[in-house]
Amino acid sequence: MTTFAEFNKQTSAKEVASSFGEFIRGRNVVITGVNPDGIGYGIAEAVASQDPALVIMTYRSQSKSDEVLKKLRASYPNVSYRPLQMDLSSQISVRTAAKELNKWPEPVDTLFNNAGVMSVQDRTLVDGIDIHFATNHLGHFLFTNLILDKLLASVQSSVPGSTRVVNVSGGWHSMSPVRFDDLNFEGKHIPVDQEPNKEKLIKLGFDPSKPYVPEVAYGQSKTANILFSLYLTKRLHEQGILSYAICPGGVMTEIGRHVPEKRAQQIIASGILDKTQEQGAAPALVAAFDPALTEKSGVFIDNCQFRDPSPHASDPAIAERLWHLSEELVRERFVI
């Protein structure tokens, strides 16, 4: 059996899935934010290729969900698929979706927290929270906790450590720590350790002096994804659940729809988008199904290999602080 040590930047999600097929067959998988042109579809297609029992896919757009289901059923007709409507930016929507999923009889063996939003140009609040943080982190935080019993039910019938939560983060986490003192870019004072990476922002052509920088908002949400995995594994590994965060790398997907046209053309011309959809999904498959991974393996997978994230994304104390902040923002306490 191939291990993650043999995978690299060019490895495709289907290659990874094929290597770990015995750990996918018969499993129940949930993937948030699956649309035809995103990382979520790459994950779904690779998983479906190895005969899982059930693939649950959340969506915002009915038409895109229908397109995804049509494509998957044409290629892998023997797999059961179940769509679930959910807007991760809305706590009401997340609670409604979780309630629906909890009615279904199947346990959840693997949860891919994949959905995301990037570079919304104007400061936008949803439920009083920056839209990047609300969608990319807080919605997934709430959803994961609300369906935790489904994950724990999987542990009862599986090998401990094979039940996993995979959070799709990214290299942009290096742009910013979590801004605990000014989460919503209201112009409040923040300490030095919460300031964005100004040098990197300037190098990429962004002005860090602006009160709201979309890339900083996105960056702090990606940091939160890693810290969330760090905390989950710390608290749940003894109960048989592990969590990892992954970096898809540079992939042309719909997440860039808010990037201004001129800036988008510059990004394309730079060559930074150097991965296919399948290559971008590959690290998520490693994180979800490689049986060699343990709570001591690491937390962040990039190009199918573990690497250290930025210090502000790897501190257990910061992860715990984020957990408590997240509980405050969803107005519910979760004891795990």
Q: Does residue 249 contact residue 171 with C-beta atoms inside 8 Å?
A: yes
Strand runs labelled E in the chain: 28-31, 54-59, 80-85, 110-113, 125-126, 129-130, 163-168, 241-247, 300-302, 305-306
> Torsions phi, psi of 168, nearest 5?
-80, 110
Paired sense of beta strands 125-126 and 54-59, if any: unpaired
One-letter amino acid identity for 218? Y
Catalytic residue among 169, 174, 221, 243: 169
Give CA–CA dist 246/259, Å, rounded: 22
Going by C-alpha positions, the residue among 202, 196, 141 that lies closest to residue 172 is 196
**Separation of alpha carbons 10 and 322, rounded Å:** 34
| DSSP character at residue 246 | E
Distance CA 123, CA 25 (A): 43
Is 174 a known active-site residue? Answer: no
Tell me which residues are annotated as active site: 169
